[in-house]
């Protein structure tokens, strides 16, 4: 999919979600004076409505998930309207991670309508949604007992940070990636060394996918194999971790794409080295932390594509250069 086609598809999904939410609000007895942004003077606000005696200023996003930088961008945009006469609402058909929810709980001027909140408010109106894809998504969300994704998230959260527990974290990461991406990718191969025993890759997943985003990654970034290096550090990883991953990546070997799984954000030196390795050697390395893994598990749980997090990570990196 080309950039123009992808942008058009994202814009179309955004328009559909906004249109369906607008119609559900008009059908709901508790909403009054529902107006689309074209009928308002509030640039950047998609929908304005009265709800339970309070005016809501609603920003609609079609995202099923948000990277940290994208969420920060949305919050900065919404903060421009927080002094307006009304309560800000961020509405989107997905979920935030637990850490993101905790962060947003401090934003007293903002309400978040995620997929579960939307399903709770509009449980009667969902049946009238015209978009079959969106209607099926609402109907398929898992609101019942604990799922396998919940169990995997518990394993991740219970894994103690620190080199002492690296083995548990490595195994947990392998199990999570296998659940998220197999059978599109091959089952994880653990601690496979190269021929000269100089480099031992934590996790390798073969990418023979003949369709979808993994096919695109293989064609564009030589992601013939997905190399995952798990770093259970209690502190931030530095540039040495990136250089180590870069040594694993070879055009004539496993490919040129790698993922560093880590517990916190990387040091600035690691980010700088990540850019240098890409610009000088075409080796693409992305960082995936606990928040990202949680988001991917929630996407999988709710019937969405967990690859969306990988996609956003790459887009944020490339567009930030």
Question: 164-216: per-residue pLDDT in tens?
Answer: 999 999 999 999 999 999 999 999 998 744 444 445 668 999 999 999 999 99
Checking if the pLDDT of 227 tops 70, the result is yes
213 exposure class (CB count in 10 Å sphere: 0-12, 13-18, 19+) = middle
Reading phi first (left if > 0) and then psi (alpha if -120 to 50, else beta), residue 146 is in beta
CA angle 105, 111, 117 (to 5 degrees): 105
Identify the bridge partners of residue 58 per DSSP, sorted by sequence position. 47, 89
The C-alpha atoms of residue 115 and residue 112 are separated, in whole angstroms, by 10
246 exposure class (CB count in 10 Å sphere: 0-12, 13-18, 19+) = buried
Mean pLDDT calculated for residue range 272-298: 96
CB 203 within 8 A of CB 173: yes
Closest CA relative to residue 208, chosen from 228, 226, 227: 226
Checking if the pLDDT of 278 tops 90, the result is yes
DSSP state of 138: H
**pLDDT tens-digit readout, 52-87:** 888 999 999 988 889 888 899 899 988 887 766 788
The C-alpha atoms of residue 83 and residue 76 are separated, in whole angstroms, by 13
Handedness of CA 173, 181, 301, 99 (dihedral sign): positive
- Confidence band of 152 (pLDDT split at 50, 70, 90): very high
The C-alpha atoms of residue 35 and residue 26 are separated, in whole angstroms, by 9
Q: Which residue has the higher pLDDT, 248 or 81?
A: 248
CB 44 within 8 A of CB 77: yes
Put simply, whether the predicted model's pTM sits higher than 0.85 gets the answer no
Checking if the pLDDT of 277 tops 90, the result is yes
Buried b / exposed e along 93-120 (16+ C-beta atoms within 10 A): bbbbbeebeebeeeeeebbbbbbeebbe
The C-alpha atoms of residue 56 and residue 87 are separated, in whole angstroms, by 5
Checking if the pLDDT of 307 tops 60, the result is yes
CA angle 103, 109, 115 (to 5 degrees): 65
Closest CA relative to residue 140, chosen from 116, 161, 117: 116
**pLDDT tens-digit readout, 3-36:** 444 443 455 577 889 999 999 999 998 899 999 8
DSSP line for 4-49: HHHHHHHHHHHHHHHHHHHHHHHH-TTEEEEEEGGGSS-TT--EEE
The C-alpha atoms of residue 269 and residue 250 are separated, in whole angstroms, by 22
Q: State CA 194 to chain mean position distance.
A: 32
Q: Could you tell me the domains of the chain?
A: 3-140 (3.40.91.80), 148-319 (3.40.91.30)
The C-alpha atoms of residue 125 and residue 26 are separated, in whole angstroms, by 10
The C-alpha atoms of residue 15 and residue 4 are separated, in whole angstroms, by 16
């Amino acid at each position: 999919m080309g950039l123009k086609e992808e942008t058009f598809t994202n814009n179309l999904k955004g328009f559909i979600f906004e249109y369906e939410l607008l119609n559900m609000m008009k059908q709901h007895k508790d909403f009054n004076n529902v107006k689309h942004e074209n009928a308002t003077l509030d640039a950047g606000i998609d929908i304005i409505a009265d709800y339970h005696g309070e005016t809501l200023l609603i920003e609609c996003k079609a995202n099923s998930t948000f990277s940290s930088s994208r969420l920060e961008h949305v919050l900065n945009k919404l903060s421009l309207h927080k002094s307006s006469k009304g309560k800000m609402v961020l509405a989107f058909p997905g979920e935030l991670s637990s850490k993101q929810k905790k962060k947003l709980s401090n934003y007293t001027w903002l309400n978040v309508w995620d997929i579960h909140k939307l399903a709770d408010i509009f449980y009667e109106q969902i049946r009238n949604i015209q978009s079959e894809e969106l209607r099926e998504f609402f109907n398929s969300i898992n609101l019942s007992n604990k799922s396998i994704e919940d169990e995997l998230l518990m394993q991740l959260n219970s894994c103690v940070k620190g080199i002492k527990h690296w083995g548990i974290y490595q195994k947990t990461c392998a199990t999570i990636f296998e659940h998220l991406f197999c059978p599109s990718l091959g089952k994880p191969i653990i601690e496979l060394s190269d021929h000269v025993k100089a480099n031992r890759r934590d996790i390798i997943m073969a990418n023979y996918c003949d369709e979808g985003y993994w096919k695109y990654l293989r064609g564009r970034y030589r992601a013939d194999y997905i190399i995952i290096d798990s770093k259970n550090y209690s502190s931030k990883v530095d540039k040495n971790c990136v250089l180590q991953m870069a040594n694993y990546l070879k055009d004539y070997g496993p490919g040129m794409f790698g993922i560093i799984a880590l517990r916190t954000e990387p040091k600035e030196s690691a980010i700088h080295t990540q850019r240098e390795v890409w610009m000088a050697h075409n080796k693409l390395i992305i960082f995936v932390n606990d928040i990202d893994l949680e988001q991917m598990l929630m996407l999988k749980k709710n019937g969405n594509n967990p690859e969306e997090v990988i996609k956003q990570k790459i887009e944020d990196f490339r567009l930030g250069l």
